[in-house]
Chains A and B, each alone.
Chain A
């Protein structure tokens, strides 16, 4: 058995459910034979990876589905040895360069070089280039991106890159201009509902529109999340009912509770407790940026309109510091303390105003 999100993942470009024009364009691109580097970007859960997988299949046929996992040993200039996990078929290789941390530069260069230097065994009837798929280009360091720029040009005859990122803002212009940008927008509400309903039909269920709407809202148009929520709704109660509430992941509930406890009391003691909870979230591998975002969303939604701007500003300030510094919890805690401070002052002022 597998999750619905995997089960109903389209396997070829013609089966894609939305952005069909784009799918056709990609098809034409493949037919044309002059395949450029691609930069696929769009929000999380919009189907970027699915689209790329379909595209690869269109390029190379079903042979591309035979995947194997390899760990490629790479030696950095400083002599450190790294093992990078790659997923590859005969025709393509996929890497998440953020695994390499600060050594992403040489990892990217090495891998592209390796892929480019080995030619296809049988060029007749096949493409004369291989594809390197780099996921999470957002987190690629600027250094690595510059290195990539040169490598891209050098091996263009034997190798194409497909870069996947959430937004182009962290991709340097030099790379953006060398790639064909493909934006995969998040599906809209109707699309998600129809996709979910179709999946439910295949499972022998009917999905009430009300529930579907709730799912869309909670998942923030993230199709992957929508699928997961839908399936969890099924487990919760079958047949699906209109009144059902989609379940949020445990950590989100926990984060919301944390935000509530920040609003509830503002004191060093409370901060201590909050810190414990933040540690708890961190130790569950929830990235600190996501914690920041979730916390801010909760806090802002609960506080007065006058405070919102100030709170968001503080959050932005400390989130930036997380990137600059090395110990995330310092900044997260400083933000919470600052918020408590602002909020407490506001509450006290409003109490004074009442009299």
Chain B
């Protein structure tokens, strides 16, 4: 306690107290790779007194801001940082009669700070540098406003500007990704410097420097042991700011002793107080440690390929199940322990907010890592249990516990994960829901008054309707519906009658081309014909598009004169969404066996996933080596 007070009371230029934690002051104190530092300093010196945009990205606490500050100090730049105003300033608004919103203020900031120099700085060779780390929220919602402002800035700028963004695991909240997409970076000639997490050696150096400094402040300060430094390094995960903070906050022996004393005064015996001391120390470093939240795909990988340190004999799964992180120490004595390398509790803790999508990913991919059907059955059981528990209405089972149970089940039952390169695929559940919705909308529009429920329509009437009235079909959407309906991927034993061949589809299209009157499936409901006729022209467009597609894909005997189709294409354009959706499906269907329709949207992501998964494997290996 005394030490801390001394520390906070002390002042030295190297550690600016207003920053609340020790920030490096000179270039060689930086814990960042020197190449990155020089990259920034060359950029800065080449942009003295002229406009230019630099984007600095990296994980949190890897020293992005520190580097910029140090470098600008060494090159005598004066930093002007944008701080988003909390609220509209009504008082000044009333006085001056000018109300500005955040966007205007930001524009103002860019304009004036880059032009006018600080009145209070006497020396004239100080150049200004704009720093933006805090983004007005409106930009995140509407990046185009931001890009407009950037364009303005580029035209008039007299001072360089640096944008700092933290990396984030989720693309939807990644500022750099939202605000600075590739094309914008090219358009405004933005230089991009990306930082890596701080390396272990560098962090160790920084920690030691900090320790020495703390000691110089108060001679009573005991330097932390190498072990605890290691521990801090471990838990910091490349976040030097966090490492510094935890070193500062790490209680000294005498502080713990005080707690200890309090414990002794109670009725407890000595043994217990020893235990409390131990746990307190433990908590001080490890439990308030930085959440080592890994990326979603890393975490899924950890579930799919569970790893444990087995000591002695084979693992008994029920023992593993009982195991909890907190009582590991106690259980160790009683059972020949298994220790998760990646504990399911931690995973469940950090992903309980996105448990649903996590489980979907696990479900989609777990089969590939299993080797026996028995364990698959057990794992599938726990997944299904997890799903039920998460949706339970009556007895509220904690979301987190059910999620934990589900992934634990998948991990525990996989005794020997089948290790091979597997793509992590995203789940098809949502894609299928979308297809279902699409199909039911088509059905609703086509058979609005057919007197049976949609289920019956789908399972009973429509399959036969195709068989019995194929020759009379003259409606593009119906043809389309049938082609979806009857097209099953995967081998189906069918005879000629049942399968829709390409030539049959063409036959439909030809029938449509002759534009005979629409077949009315609901003849009993004659009053309903008007809306259909109204849609006729739209359908014509659809059908023509369909025809075009087919011609493009396979050179066929189907000929339509270009003029005719062009004319009619011009006619109608409405109902686009449905047609588009339908078309997208159609292409796939025609293409044949490729099961792209579900995965199309996903493919792009998958590529990322693969890359990430490889990374995750590497990480795992690294970790196990450590």
Contact = CB atoms under 8 A, between A and B. Distances in A.
A164 B436 CA distance: 25
Given A1-B472, A49-B452, A268-B372, A225 B460 contact: yes
Interface string B450-462: 0111111011110
Contacts of B184: none
A228 B468 contact: yes
A4 B370 CA distance: 51
B525 A67 contact: yes
By size class, the interface of chain B is 35 or more
Interface string B439-456: 110011000110111111
The residue in B368, B376, B486, B498 that gathers the most chain A C-beta atoms within 10 A of its C-beta is B376
Contact of B493 (A257, A277, A331, A333): A257
Nearest to A225: B460
A249 B373 contact: no
Q: Chain A binding site: helix, strand, loop or mixed by DSSP?
A: helix
A69 interface: yes
Contacts of B363: 327, 329-330, 333
B436 A285 contact: yes
B469 A1 contact: yes
Contacts of B524: 2, 6, 9, 65
Nearest to A245: B495
Given A234-B468, A321-B388, A286 B459 contact: yes
A318 interface: yes
Contacts, number: 207
A326 B387 contact: yes
A3 B450 CA distance: 11
A152 B488 CA distance: 45
B521 A2 contact: yes
B468 A341 contact: no
Contacts of A257: 491-493
B381 A324 contact: no
Interface string A237-264: 0000000000101110110010000000
B449 A224 contact: no
B497 to A, nearest CB: 6
Given A251-B459, A271-B373, A282-B436, A224 B452 contact: yes
A235 B468 contact: yes
Q: Chain B binding site: helix, strand, loop or mixed by DSSP?
A: helix
B256 to A, nearest CB: 48
Interface string A302-342: 00000000000000001001001111011101100110110
A114 B368 CA distance: 55
Contact of A284 (B377, B484, B519): B484
B598 A279 contact: yes
B464 interface: yes
Given A5-B461, A282-B432, A284-B485, A69 B528 contact: yes
B380 A333 contact: yes
B498 A253 contact: yes
A146 to B, nearest CB: 16
A145 interface: no
Interface string B492-532: 11100110000000000000000000011111110110000
Contacts of B359: 327, 330
A53 interface: yes
A338 B494 contact: no
Contact of A341 (B374, B384, B494): B374
A107 B403 CA distance: 34
A321 to B, nearest CB: 5
A56 B575 CA distance: 36
B439 A224 contact: no
Contacts of A287: 455, 459
A231 B468 contact: yes
B173 interface: no
A24 interface: no
Contacts of A276: 489-490, 595
Contact of A337 (B377, B391, B440): B377
A285 B468 CA distance: 21
A4 B469 CA distance: 11
A157 interface: no
B388 A249 contact: no
Interface of B: 359-360, 363, 367-368, 370-374, 376-377, 380-381, 383-384, 387-388, 390-392, 428-429, 431-432, 435-436, 439-440, 443-444, 448-449, 451-456, 458-461, 463-465, 467-470, 472, 484-486, 488-494, 497-498, 519-525, 527-528, 595, 598
19 contacts: A2-B522, A3-B464, A69-B528, A98-B453, A235-B468, A249-B460, A250-B485, A251-B459, A268-B371, A268-B373, A272-B368, A279-B432, A283-B432, A283-B435, A325-B384, A325-B387, A329-B363, A337-B380, A340-B377
Given A232-B464, A321-B384, 16 more contacts: A3-B469, A3-B521, A67-B449, A67-B528, A69-B528, A249-B460, A250-B463, A250-B488, A271-B373, A280-B490, A284-B458, A284-B485, A327-B429, A337-B373, A340-B373, A344-B373
10 smallest A-B Cβ distances: which pairs?
A249-B463, A228-B464, A334-B380, A325-B387, A337-B377, A334-B384, A341-B377, A232-B467, A337-B380, A325-B388
